[in-house]
């Protein structure tokens, strides 16, 4: 991630800002988990965020001063150990979640991903399943199908660890960012929300990894029209993760446009067509179409005032990103995270407001955590660029 970005996208250079941003996305969703188990100790939630903020400040202060420890902390062995620990935790926690589901009190996240593809395997409709409490299935068809092998191989608990492992490997291989990858994985493990979502087999973490991987693909491998076509196909499949994500294809197109308008158009057009086509095909004969419930949910769970604020904020961020994004990868990571993470933060806060700020029932916390991994990658991309600039300056002087 040794690229130069325009000044607009360098606002995150201050460790104070980095720490605040990451503390919000890592630990704000954890307030819902703390509220469920704190037994009246309301101070635990604020302490969790404050502790993370201070810890991140220390981390960012130490990063440039690690010296010989950098090699050890950047080691692939550390990455493997962290991922093995996450995989073991996922397996144990998911077994507990299966018992909760059997008792009728578990999350609908894993059944939405697994029951659907099991139904398809048995010759039934992808959306013919019924979840606990009559909850509709949110994930779309392309996303369900690319993750189907985890269910069919009876290793669904490893879906999220597998996506994390793929993301860690690609980032290490593409940007020599071993230290940042290891610190990022360690930071995820400091979040109670991460382990809850991991145990639930929630696809929101896998989705966060996938959106980052698509930026890497666009940056590293879209160097011809055929590769842009393949990228567009992958983007289209990814955009079916939720029906509201179809416009993401246009955001990837904007990023690629900075290098090649032609390939940006290919990725955007193919992505939108593939996503729309998949939704259309799998909605035939299905009434109501379960993924479409998110439109109604957004209307029901977002107070009008919050919706207006969301629109104004996102328009401002969108204009800033369009004006500041460059052809360099670091600006892509930061610009994408600014839009993706902020949008999910606003959705989550809107749902909290609509529930009279009752943290124990705050389902929107999951949306907030969706921004954690893009935010981590963006922050460390900026940090890597700053280190590279400092090294080049020292050499030239």
Which pLDDT belongs to residue 77?
95
Burial call 119-129: b when 16+ CB within 10 Å, e when fewer = ebeeeeebbeb
pLDDT at 358 (0 to 100): 85
Residues 15 and 52 reside in one and the same domain: yes
137 lies in the same domain as 176: yes
Per-residue model confidence as pLDDT tens digits over 366-383:
999 999 999 999 988 887
Among 212, 317, 218, 321, smallest CA distance to 266 is for 218
CA 154, 203, 117 angle in degrees (round to 5)? Answer: 45
Range 88-100 average pLDDT: 94
362 touches 32 (CB < 8 A): yes
Would you say residue 37 has pLDDT above 90? no
Residue 193 lies in a domain: yes
Please check whether residue 273 lies inside any domain of the structure.
no
Which residues, other chains included, contact 122 with Cβ-Cβ below 8 Å and sequence gap of 6+?
A: none
What are the respective helix, strand and coil percentages of the chain, to the nearest 5? Answer: 80, 0, 20
Please, are residues 272 and 236 in contact by the beta-carbon 8 Å criterion? yes
Give the rounded distance of the alpha carbon of 368 from its chain centre. Answer: 9
- Token pair belonging to 325: 């994004």
Which own/partner pairs from 340-343 qualify as long-range (CB within 8 Å, at least 24 positions apart)?
340/211, 340/248, 340/251, 340/370, 340/371, 340/374, 341/25, 341/370, 341/371, 341/372, 341/374, 341/375, 342/313, 342/314, 342/317, 342/371, 343/310, 343/314
Where do we find the tokens 């903020």?
Answer: 53
Q: Is residue 368 part of a domain?
A: yes
Instruction: With a cut of 70, say whether residue 176 has pLDDT above it.
Output: yes
Does 216 map to a domain?
no
Q: Is 70 exceeded by the pLDDT of residue 2? A: no
Q: Under 8 Å CB-to-CB from 248, ≥6 apart: which residues?
A: 211, 235, 238, 239, 271, 340
Domain count, the chain: 2
Q: What is the pLDDT of residue 7?
A: 35
Per-residue pLDDT band at 38 (split at 50, 70, 90): low
Q: Domain boundary at 203, 224, 242, which?
A: 203
Residues 30 and 106 in one domain: no
Q: Residue 6 has what pLDDT?
A: 39
Q: 292-325 pLDDT, tens per residue?
A: 988 877 666 677 777 788 889 899 999 999 888 9
Looking at the fold, whether 36 and 85 belong to one and the same domain comes out as no
Asked whether residue 137 falls in the same domain as residue 58, the answer is no
> What is the reported pTM?
0.91
Same domain (yes/no): 121, 49: no
Average pLDDT over residues 188-203: 93
Give dist(CA 147, CA 109) in Å, integer: 13
- pLDDT tops 50 at residue 9: no
> Distance between CA 66 and CA 59 in Å, rounded?
10
Which residue is listed with tokens 């969790």?
Answer: 48
Residues 12 and 125 in one domain: no
Q: Are residues 46 and 104 in the same domain?
A: no
313 within domain boundaries: yes
The residue out of 152, 175, 203 marking a domain boundary is 203
Any domain includes 340: yes
Residue 32's CB is within 10 A of a number of other CB atoms, namely 25
Domain membership of residue 219 (yes or no) is no
Which pLDDT value is given to residue 309? 83
Q: Which residues contact 227 (CB under 8 A, 6 or more apart)?
A: 221
Percent of the chain with pLDDT over 90: 58
> Which pLDDT tens digit goes with each residue over 316-365?
999 999 888 999 999 999 999 999 999 999 999 988 888 888 888 888 89
Same domain, residue pair 114 and 198: yes
Of 173, 203, 233, the position where a domain reaches its end is 203
Confidence label for 3 from pLDDT (cuts 50, 70 and 90): very low
43, 93: one domain: no
Does 69 score more than 50 pLDDT?
yes
Residue 289 lies in a domain: no
51 and 13 in a common domain = yes
Q: How many CB atoms lie within 10 A of CB 309?
A: 15
Range of the domain at 317: 1-65+302-397
Q: Are residues 23 and 101 in the same domain?
A: no
């Amino acid at each position: 991630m040794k690229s130069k970005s325009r000044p607009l996208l360098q606002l995150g250079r201050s460790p104070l800002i980095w720490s605040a941003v990451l503390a919000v996305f890592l630990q704000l969703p954890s307030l819902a988990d703390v509220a469920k188990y704190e037994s009246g100790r309301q101070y635990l939630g604020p302490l969790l965020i404050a502790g993370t903020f201070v810890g991140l400040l220390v981390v960012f202060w130490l990063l440039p001063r690690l010296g010989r420890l950098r090699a050890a902390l950047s080691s692939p062995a550390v990455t493997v150990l962290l991922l093995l620990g996450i995989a073991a935790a996922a397996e144990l926690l998911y077994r507990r979640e299966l018992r909760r589901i059997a008792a009728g009190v578990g999350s609908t996240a894993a059944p939405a991903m697994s029951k659907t593809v099991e139904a398809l395997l048995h010759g039934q409709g992808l959306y013919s399943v019924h979840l606990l409490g009559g909850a509709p299935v949110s994930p779309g068809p392309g996303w369900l199908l690319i993750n189907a092998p985890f269910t069919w191989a009876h290793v669904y608990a490893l879906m999220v660890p597998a996506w994390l492992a793929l993301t860690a490997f690609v980032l290490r291989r593409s940007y020599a960012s071993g230290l940042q990858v290891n610190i990022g994985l360690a930071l995820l493990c400091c979040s109670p929300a991460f382990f809850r979502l991991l145990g639930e087999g929630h696809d929101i973490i896998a989705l966060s990894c996938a959106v980052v991987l698509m930026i890497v693909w666009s940056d590293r491998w879209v160097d011809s029209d055929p590769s842009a076509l393949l990228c567009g196909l992958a983007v289209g499949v990814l955009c079916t993760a939720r029906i509201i994500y179809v416009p993401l294809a246009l955001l990837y197109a904007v990023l690629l446009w900075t290098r090649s308008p032609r390939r940006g158009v290919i990725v955007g057009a193919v992505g939108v067509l593939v996503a729309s086509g998949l939704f259309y095909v799998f909605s035939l004969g299905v009434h109501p179409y379960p993924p479409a419930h998110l439109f109604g949910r957004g209307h029901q769970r977002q107070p009008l005032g919050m919706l207006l604020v969301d629109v104004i904020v996102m328009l401002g961020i969108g204009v800033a990103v369009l004006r500041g994004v460059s052809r360099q990868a670091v600006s892509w990571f930061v610009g994408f995270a600014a839009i993706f993470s902020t949008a999910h933060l606003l959705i989550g806060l809107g749902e909290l407001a609509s529930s009279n700020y009752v943290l124990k029932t705050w389902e929107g916390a999951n949306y907030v955590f969706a921004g954690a991994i893009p935010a981590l990658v963006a922050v460390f991309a900026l940090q890597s660029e700053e280190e590279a600039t400092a090294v080049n300056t020292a050499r030239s002087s």
